Chain A
Amino acid sequence: MFDRSSQTLPGTGERGMASKRYVLEIDGLSKRYGRVEALDDVSLQLPMGEIWGVLGPNGSGKSTLLKCIAGLVKPDEGSIRINGLSPSRATKSVVAFVPEINTMYRWMTVAEVMSFAAAFYQDWSKERAQELMEFMRLEPGKKVGSLSKGMRARLRLILGMARDAQLVLLDEPLSGIDPASRDRIVEGIARQFDGEGRSIVLSTHAVDETERLFDTVMFLRDGHIELIGNAEELRIQRGKSINDLFKEVYA
């Protein structure tokens, strides 16, 4: 009754026969730093309502790709379209970029960071921020400087997820933090994502903890796409986890 091979549907994160709307379209993107090819002819189309994992070791171009999409790095070649527009002032309200490093003032309290963000971002949702803050077990009165690395990573995630941005870019949200915080962050993402109205691009090399979140995974190597596909289809085709596939690709 249940034939695994015939039950699988082609394509990525297919949502019936409805035509896809792409929130992000990249064509032939390249970026060079001196002699290093940070991005080499990257092309992709990200439909609305999906979570993508950008996977690769350090220096594979993950961060550069996210920064190009956020409009923080100017590519040498190729085009980026966010809702049909080039990265600019207009797309800043569509894209929420959460960097790997801290950009919050150490002397601010968690509550102050929240009200600062509420004033700064027009699409800030106070209710969602509150809900996330409770879920992440962040104490409003604590100063950023006194938070552990894990707690600061949780706070960063809120800065991205509490906005009504259509495209959320999370750069290495799990890097260098404790397992409990990793779990909270993965669960927080699952909680805030409903498959509608928003897409998330998450770069990481912590594949084991995050792979259950992804519709599509993209493996980067030396700035080019080594492999891209629907996570469930890859599990069917290769008979292994994305994490094992990751180890195989970068062996």
Chain B
Amino acid sequence: MKVEFDQSRPIYLQIIEDIKRQIATGVLKPGDKLPSQRDLAVQLQVNANTVQRAYREMELLGIVETLRGQGTFVRAERSIVEETRGDMVSTLVEEFVTAMQALGYDAEAILLHVRQKLADTAGNGGERNGK
């Protein structure tokens, strides 16, 4: 398996983002064991040091913990899922708002577009659910 990275951004950050996404969406649950650094490096075809750096940063961020001789685990606290989700949401919203502002939209117009999109999505979702 070959994983595509955006090579214009640090690879270790993309590894962190991927694991955070897995936590936020429930693929990885609190207390779950992460792949060993070696296995992940082989799987992603990256330098073992890059994975080591990603794991170390996630430890510093309090997302995972490494137990001596046992491996690296998603922190067991339930709150870690909410924290990770909250973290991802702020990033997504910030990116979106920044991009919209760069296009010249003010707060009112941004909200209008969001509401419109949500209404559209709800409509489509309703049809699907109605089947």
A5: min CB distance to chain B, Å: 11
8 Å CB interface, A183-239 against B: 183, 186-187, 190-191, 193-195, 208, 211-215, 232, 235-236, 239
B7 pairs with A194, CB closer than 8 A:
no
Interface size class of A (residues with CB under 8 A): 20 to 34
| A215 and B5 in contact, given A2-B87, A4-B13, A7-B57 (Cβ under 8 angstroms) | no
Residue A75 at the chain B interface, CB threshold 8 Å:
no
Residue B53 at the chain A interface, CB threshold 8 Å:
yes
Residue A243 at the chain B interface, CB threshold 8 Å:
yes
B87 closest partner in A (C-beta): A1
B45 pairs with A194, CB closer than 8 A:
no
Q: Once the chains are docked, how many angstroms separate the CA of A211 from the CA of B5?
A: 11
B52 closest partner in A (C-beta): A195
A48: min CB distance to chain B, Å: 12
Among candidates B7, B38, B42, residue contacting A242 with C-beta atoms closer than 8 Å: B7
Among candidates A7, A13, A208, residue contacting B49 with C-beta atoms closer than 8 Å: A13
Residue A51 at the chain B interface, CB threshold 8 Å:
yes
B47 pairs with A212, CB closer than 8 A:
yes
Q: Once the chains are docked, how many angstroms separate the CA of A150 from the CA of B87?
A: 46
A190 pairs with B46, CB closer than 8 A:
yes
Q: Once the chains are docked, how many angstroms separate the CA of A230 from the CA of B46?
A: 15
Residue A240 at the chain B interface, CB threshold 8 Å:
yes
Q: Once the chains are docked, how many angstroms separate the CA of A235 from the CA of B7?
A: 8
8 Å CB interface, A5-20 against B: 7-8, 13, 15
A193 pairs with B7, CB closer than 8 A:
no
A190 pairs with B47, CB closer than 8 A:
yes
Residue A181 at the chain B interface, CB threshold 8 Å:
no
B65: min CB distance to chain A, Å: 17
Among candidates A13, A187, A235, A242, residue contacting B45 with C-beta atoms closer than 8 Å: A187
Q: Provide the B45-82 mask, 1 if CB < 8 A to any CB of A, else 0.
A: 11111101100010001000000000000000000000
Q: Provide the B1-34 mask, 1 if CB < 8 A to any CB of A, else 0.
A: 0100101111111001000000000000000000
Q: Once the chains are docked, how many angstroms separate the CA of A214 from the CA of B13?
A: 15
Extra inter-chain contacts (11) besides given A50-B49, A195-B52, A213-B46, CB under 8 Å: A2-B61, A2-B91, A13-B49, A186-B45, A212-B50, A213-B45, A215-B49, A232-B11, A232-B53, A235-B7, A240-B8
